[in-house]
Structure 1
Amino acid sequence: MFGRDRLHPGERILYETRPRFILNSKSTIIKALSAVIILYLFQGIVEGAGALDNVLIANYGVTVAEKVAWLLTGIIIIILLSILWDVISWRNRRYIITDQRVMVEEGVLWKRRYYINHRKIVDVSFSQSITERLLDSADLEIHGGHEGTNIILRDAPSPSKIEYHISRFTERGYDDAEEILRELSSSRRREPGFADPEFWETPEDEKESDGKFAVDRCGDESIMERHSRKFKRYRREGRDD
Structure 2
Amino acid sequence: MGYPDNVLAADERVVLHRHPHWKRLIGPVFALLLLTALAGFGVGVVNHTAWDHMATKIVMLVIAVIWLILIGWLTLWPVLNWRSTHFVITDRRVMFRHGVMTRSGIDIPLARINSVEFSHGLVDRILRTGTLIIESASQDPLEFDDIPSVERVHSLLYHEVFDTLGSDESPS
- Which range, TM-score by smaller chain? 0.7 to 0.9
The whole-number CA distance in structure 1 between the counterparts of 2:161 and 2:67 is: 49
Pairs within 5 Å for 1:125-140:
125-140=117-132
| 1:170 counterpart = 2:161 | yes
> Scaled by the length of structure 1, what TM-score is found?
0.58
| Aligned match for 1:69, one of 60, 74, 83 | 60
Name the structure with the higher strand share.
2
Partner residue, 1:37: 37
The whole-number CA distance in structure 1 between the counterparts of 2:68 and 2:5 is: 36
Shift of 1:66: 4.3
Shift of 1:137: 0.9
Name the structure with the higher helix share.
1
| Aligned match for 1:143, one of 135, 138, 146 | 135
How many pairs were matched up?
162
**C-alpha contact (below 8 Å) 2:86/2:97 kept by paired residues:** yes
DSSP-derived class of the 2:139 partner: coil
Runs (4 or more) in structure 1 with deviation over 4 Å come to: 63-67, 172-175
Partner residue, 2:170: none
Shift of 1:4: 0.6
Partner residue, 1:28: 28
CA RMSD, 1 decimal: 2.6
Shift of 1:77: 1.1
The whole-number CA distance in structure 2 between the counterparts of 1:29 and 1:130 is: 22
> Scaled by the length of structure 2, what TM-score is found?
0.78
Shift of 1:131: 2.6
Partner residue, 1:15: 16
Shift of 1:157: 0.8
**C-alpha contact (below 8 Å) 1:137/1:159 kept by paired residues:** yes
Shift of 1:40: 3.6
Residue ranges of structure 2 left out of the alignment (5+ in a row): 168-172
In terms of Rg, which structure is larger?
A: 1
Question: Structure 2 vs 1, CA of residues 129 and 26 (structure 1 numbering), >3 Å: closer, same or farther?
Answer: farther
**C-alpha contact (below 8 Å) 2:94/2:110 kept by paired residues:** yes
Residue ranges of structure 1 left out of the alignment (5+ in a row): 55-62, 176-241
Equivalent pairs: percent with the same residue? 22
Partner residue, 2:98: 106
Shift of 1:171: 3.3
**C-alpha contact (below 8 Å) 2:118/2:151 kept by paired residues:** no
- Bigger relative contact order, structure 1 or 2, given CA contacts below 8 A and separation 6+? 2
